A and B are shown apart, each in its own frame.
Chain A
Amino acid sequence: MAEPKATPIGPGVVQVVHDGRADIVYVAGTSDDRWAFSNGRVYRETAAPESPAKTRSGSRPHVSQALSAPMPATVASVSVQPGARVRKGDTILVLEAMKMELPLRAPADAQVVAVNCRVGELVQPGTLLVELE
């Protein structure tokens, strides 16, 4: 099979001739996080695995479970306090983004070690919100 031949034909637009046909591919992003689109499909390649969750209160080596924000969101409610015992599936807190509620639930039976967010706070993706043990 011949090597694909790629030719930029406009800003973010590449024509690739391969296997006897030509495809248009749209490309954007940086070398760390590159995106591409072709024929209704989206491809993404990140250089490193997603950076570890950012914590504000320093690292806690014994924490076995943590709930972090999957997206920019506002904290709508927090139903636990440090020290509380939770069961798998319990709602720990509720985030709100784009007018939709997203409950974050306990992944397993656990004890709450720390709650790092307040109701009404805008949190960023990866922010560690609740630590469980």
Chain B
Amino acid sequence: MPRIARLLIANRGEIALRIIRACREMGIESVAVYSDVDRASPHVAAADLAVRIGPAAAAESYLSISRILEAAQETGADAVHPGYGFLSENAAFADACERAGLIFVGPPAAVIARMGSKIEARRLMDAAGVAVVPGETPGDQSDAGIRRAIERIGRPALVKASAGGGGKGMRRIDADTDADEAIRGARREAQAAFGDGTLYVERALERPRHIEVQIFADAHGHVIHLFERECSVQRRHQKIIEESPSAAVAPGLRERMTSAAVAAARAADYRNAGTIEFLVEGSGDAATFFFLEMNTRLQVEHPVTEEVTGVDLVRAQLAVASGDPLPWLDRSLQLQRHAIEARVYAEDPGRGFLPQAGLLLLYREPRAPGIRVDAGVVEGGAVSPHYDPIMAKVIASGETRSIALARLSAALREYPILGIHTNVPFLLRVLEHPDFVAGRIDTTWLDREADALARNSDGEIPAFVRAAMETAAAGAAVRETQASTPDPWRTLTAWRG
């Protein structure tokens, strides 16, 4: 198999920058793609080459297989990394890349199709001896068909996008929920996020924990795991905080879960990085776990695993896609540290978590021992209303959970983002909540607590903050005068571009 020389990254934001970084370290040329509103985005500036692929609407840009393949041909790219979201779990995209002679950095199209089909994935898990949550993809996808499936499975049920994860297109149907409105909303969101409105219905477990296992497989028959990540802190099925190891996983349970995950990956004939998600009920070695789904891509929260094991997952993805064997032996991997990640979203917790868009007037990332920030934004840049509101991820690591937690809190206290509201103050309240500190959490915990935690308790502006604001107001007059002088570099870009 040929080495990757020029990689097109079919994504944007922080994950595109993360992949471009790995390219730079490996001597691979990077090709960014962008929509009209992303022309000035950091991922475009960071890549060696950049190609416009369409207007702001994702369906005509980041979700357009034909535009992305054209961009690959135009630039002579020999491989494509899909990142997460967008086309990352679209088997037709992986297939189109393969047909165009491009290396797709991920599993073969047939594996994506198999694991993307909830029915087939569950059949495989069953065969590998892994319990599954009761659920189905109704053959009749009409409102009435989905409604009948909900009644068969019983309420509370979850209706979700068959084609992808991330909480997009997911609705919980309780005893008193208007099923039709939820079904139509889920379908529209699924269509908008994944280009596929097929819905899946499953039983909602009571207060389970979300624990997933990172697996990795190469083309030489090696299948390994890189331990678990716990992602139970979710708001409306959107993960907010992830960590490894999980406080709820005792050694016996870890052994059973990771063995099941490796067996499942082997059964699926898996290749490259993937994640097997489980829901866990109970605690200690007596806990039971159910297969939830398999994500056939790199996860948002992959840095947590990188920090606890000390490996570079993106680098390994590119090596394995080039045909190399896995760079690590199973027995060489250890849980060396504890890591916790917080996702920074452009949203206003004080106003019902409304997504925010606008200019970042001030944006300064924290720097400290044990702190890593994977971000897709810069000071002076804009957060667009067109895409996912994730701005950055802050990953803290240390020898113990309490050290990692202390580092994460301290880092968020030194992470000023001004011009739009973000969830940083909310994240701090979550991290400092006694339940989180004690590890007493499940996937419904944050939805129960979010209203209380979202309430803005700041009240009056303290005198010392007001003093700083007044000082800045006095200084601003001077700067505004200076700013009226045209900046030659800005003037130049008009014809350079």
Point out residues on A near B: beta carbons under 8 Å: 3-8, 12, 14, 16, 18-19, 23, 25-31, 34-43, 45, 70-74, 76-77, 91, 94, 96-103, 122
Interface presence of B267 (CB below 8 A): no
A97 touches B467 (CB 8 A): no
Q: How far is the CB of A122 from chain B (nearest CB, A)?
A: 8
How distant is the Cα of A102 from the Cα of B389 in the complex, in angstroms?
Answer: 14
Select from chain A the residue with minimum beta-carbon distance to B355.
Answer: A98
* Contact of B364 with A70 in the complex, beta carbons under 8 Å: no
| Cβ A40 vs Cβ B362 within 8 A | no
A94 and B185 in contact, given A16-B464, A18-B463, A45-B461 (Cβ under 8 angstroms): yes
Q: B473 touches which one: A4, A34, A94, A100 (CB < 8 A)?
A: A34
0/1 per residue, B394-420, Cβ < 8 Å to A?
000000000000000100110111110
What is the bound-complex CA distance between A36 and B387, given in angstroms?
26
Whether the Cβ atoms of A42 and B465 lie closer than 8 Å is no
Which one of B193, B354, B458 contacts A41 once the chains associate, using CB atoms below 8 Å?
B458
Residues of A within 8 A of B458 (CB): 41-43
Q: Which one, A5, A27, A38, A91, contacts B472 given CB within 8 A?
A: A27
CA distance A45 to B428 in the complex (A): 22
Task: Find out whether the CB atom of B387 lies under 8 angstroms from the CB atom of A99.
Answer: yes
Cα of A9 to Cα of B463 in the assembled complex, Å: 19
Q: Contact: B413 with A8, CB < 8 Å?
A: no
CA distance A77 to B168 in the complex (A): 18
When the two chains form their complex, are residues B357 and A97 in contact, meaning their CB atoms are under 8 A apart? yes
CA gap between A41 and B463 in the complex, in Å: 14
Q: Return chain A residues, CB-CB under 8 Å to B469.
A: 25, 27, 34, 36, 43, 45
What are some 26 contacts across the A-B interface (CB < 8 A)? A6-B470, A8-B472, A12-B362, A12-B418, A16-B467, A18-B463, A23-B464, A25-B465, A27-B468, A27-B472, A28-B362, A34-B469, A37-B417, A41-B425, A42-B421, A43-B465, A70-B354, A73-B385, A77-B188, A94-B188, A99-B58, A99-B189, A99-B192, A100-B168, A101-B189, A102-B354
Contacts A8-B472, A30-B476, A77-B188 given; does A71 touch B467 at CB 8 Å: no
CA distance A12 to B351 in the complex (A): 26
- Flag whether B141 is at the interface (Cβ < 8 A): no
Q: Which partner residue on chain A sits nearest B171 by CB separation? A: A101
Contact between chains at A97 and B189 (CB < 8 Å): no
**Size of the chain B interface, CB-CB below 8 angstroms:** 49
Chain B residues closer than 8 Å to A35, beta-carbon distance:
361-362, 418-419
Q: Does B424 contact A (CB under 8 A)?
A: yes
A30 to chain B: closest residue by CB: B476
Beta-carbon contact of A42 and B468 below 8 Å: no
Which residues of chain B have C-beta atoms less than 8 A from A36's C-beta? 418, 461, 465, 468-469
CB pair A91 B181 closer than 8 Å: yes
Contact across chains for A71 and B385 when beta carbons are under 8 A apart = yes
List residues of chain A with CB within 8 A of the CB of B434.
none
CA distance A103 to B419 in the complex (A): 25
Task: Please give, as numbers and ranges, the residues of chain B lying within 8 Å of A34 by CB-CB distance.
Answer: 469, 472-473
The answer to whether the Cβ of B386 comes within 8 Å of any Cβ in the partner chain is yes
Q: Which residues of the other chain, A, contact B181 by a CB distance below 8 angstroms?
A: 91
Query: Inside 8 A of A91's CB, which chain B residues have their CB?
Result: 181
Which residues of B169-202 have CB atoms within 8 Å of chain A's CB atoms? 181, 185, 188-189, 192-193
B497 interfacial contact with A, CB 8 Å: no
Q: Name the residue of chain B whose CB is nearest to the CB of A79.
A: B181
Check A101–B362 contact: CB distance below 8 A.
no
Option from A25, A29, A37 in Cβ contact (under 8 Å) with B464:
A25
Give Cα distance in the complex from A38 to B464, angstroms. 10
Of all chain A residues, the one with the shortest Cβ separation from B351 is A70
Establish whether residues A4 and B475, one from each chain, have CB atoms under 8 Å apart when the complex forms: no
Chain A residues near B362 (CB-CB < 8 A): 12, 26-28, 35, 37
Distance in Å: Cβ of A102 to nearest Cβ of chain B: 7
Contacts of A30 in B (CB 8 A): 476
How distant is the Cα of A94 from the Cα of B415 in the complex, in angstroms?
33
B381 to chain A, nearest CB (A): 13
